Amino acid sequence: MNLRDEVRDVCSVGITAHEKPDGDAVGASLSLAMYLEKLFAEEGREVRIDVFLEPYPQNLQDHIPGARFLCKKEDALTAPYDVFFAVDTGIGRTGEAEELARKAKKRVNIDHHASNPGEAEVCEIDKAASSTCELLYRLMEKPLIDHDIAQALYVGLITDTGCFKYSNTGPESLRMAADLLRFGFDFAKIVQETFFERTFLQQKILGKVLSESTLYLDGRLIVGTLTRAALQELGARREDIEGVSSDLKLTAGTHCAVFLHEDAENSWRVSLRSDERVNVASVAEHFDGGGHVRAAGCKVQGALKEVLPEFLRLIAEEMGKTGE
């Protein structure tokens, strides 16, 4: 796909990404908006560019430039957009913006999720790409990239590669990072604040969950819990407990981590993490949840002492399948 060709005759561009946008979704949306603005300026054209994203965390707001393109749905064009880009997701998971995307004269979809149904007229879907930002970088004409575009792309790249530590990190990801760093943004601060930093409350919650966690199945499974009473005592909200399951999974020897937190009396939100040896998606599906092989979630009802044995049984079964 050639980006310049896709926007050749347009007067309006809409851009969106998935619900609950992460660093890759925001980085891809805003870098694309900034890039197209430069491309249109170079061609001497006036084109309206609107980006539609659900609210996203403060640390991403702080470090991803281009927020000037954000548009509320009520301020959108009433006429159909000439072209609508969906990035880091299929059209069907774009939330409020889906209606605008469906109504547009043409849809372009750029994504790296294997589950993308590819329903747009123009699709650039590569599940081998580490991130949508990596895919976008491949499509961008390099002389048009500037400091802010580079920074937005970089945040997306580090988000989806886990700062270059996940197995999706390839030579192309590292070459891209090397090229982007030359623009001189403060990558050390960005990594620290978008990736590693936690609030004091998040630290305390993590400490509490870890210190009260239990090992099962000969140390291959770790389980952490947080009751409603504990959550209230700490004054924690849902975003304060994000990432706890991944931290549980860092425990040496474990193949799987389960984190349960009680969001109403005897109602548990469950977050599962694993290495590739345990398919937690199939565990979550048993409780009408879902996700990926390595990360999944579900909701369950009941007292912990009834709920937990079910998880132990299902996870032991999954481990049995792969001989782990």
Q: For residues 110 and 226, which CB has a smaller minimum distance to Mn ion in the complex? A: 110
Q: How far is the CB of 18 from Mn ion (least distance, A)?
A: 8
Q: What is the DSSP letter of 238?
A: G
Cβ atoms of 101 and 135 within 8 Å: the answer is no
User: Counting contacts by CB under 5 A, is residue 160 touching Mn ion?
Assistant: yes
Closest separation in Å from C-beta 86 to Mn ion: 12
How does 148-161 read in b/e, with b if 16+ C-beta sit within 10 Å? bbbbbbbbbbbbbb
Segment interacting with Mn ion, rule: CB under 5 A, options 67-75, 160-168, 172-180, 275-283: 160-168
Q: Is 291 left (phi over 0), alpha (psi -120 to 50) or beta?
A: left
The enclosing H or E element of 138 equals helix 132-139
Residue whose C-alpha is closest to residue 91's, from 50, 69, 48, 122:
122
Using the rule CB under 5 A, give the single segment among 50-58, 101-109, 123-131, 219-227 that binds Mn ion: 123-131
Residue in the shown chain whose Cβ atom is closest to Mn ion: 24
Tell me: does residue 24 bind Mn ion (CB under 5 A).
yes
Nearest to 303 by CA among 271, 265, 270, 272: 265
| Smallest gap from residue 68 Cβ to Mn ion (A) | 23
Q: CB of residue 11 vs Mn ion: minimum separation in angstroms?
A: 29
Nearest residue (CB) to Mn ion, 163 versus 316: 163
Residue 296 CA, chain-centre distance (Å), reads 13
How are the residues of the chain apportioned to helix, strand and coil, as percentages rounded to the nearest 5?
45, 20, 35
Nearer to Mn ion, 63 or 220 (CB): 63
Nearest distance from C-beta of residue 89 to Mn ion, angstroms: 8
What CA–CA distance (Å, rounded) separates 271 from 259?
Answer: 5
Q: How many residues bind Mn ion (CB under 5 A)?
A: 5
Contact 261, 297 (CB under 8 A): no
Of the listed pieces 62-70, 132-140, 205-213, 226-234, which binds Mn ion according to CB under 5 A?
132-140
Considering the complex, state which of residue 124 and residue 160 has its C-beta at the smaller distance from Mn ion. Answer: 160
Which region, judged by CB under 5 A, interacts with Mn ion, from 83-91, 101-109, 287-295, 312-320? Answer: 83-91
Q: Looking at beta carbons only, is 94 or 254 nearer to Mn ion?
A: 94
| Stretch binding Mn ion (CB under 5 A), from 22-30, 55-63, 237-245, 309-317 | 22-30
Residues 172-211 that bind Mn ion (CB under 5 A): none
| Cα–Cα distance, 197 to 213 (Å, whole number) | 22
Calpha distance 224→206 (Å, rounded): 10
Of the candidate residues 82, 88, 148, 318, the single one contacting Mn ion (CB under 5 A): 88
Beta pairing class for 256-264 and 221-226: parallel
Stretch that binds Mn ion, among 9-17, 128-136, 168-176, 305-313 (CB under 5 A): 128-136
Q: At its nearest, how many Å lie between Mn ion and the CB of residue 301?
A: 32
Position of tokens 């945040």? 155
Distance from first CA to last CA of the chain, Å, rounded? 43
Which residue ranges make up the site for Mn ion (CB under 5 A)?
Answer: 24, 88, 131-132, 160
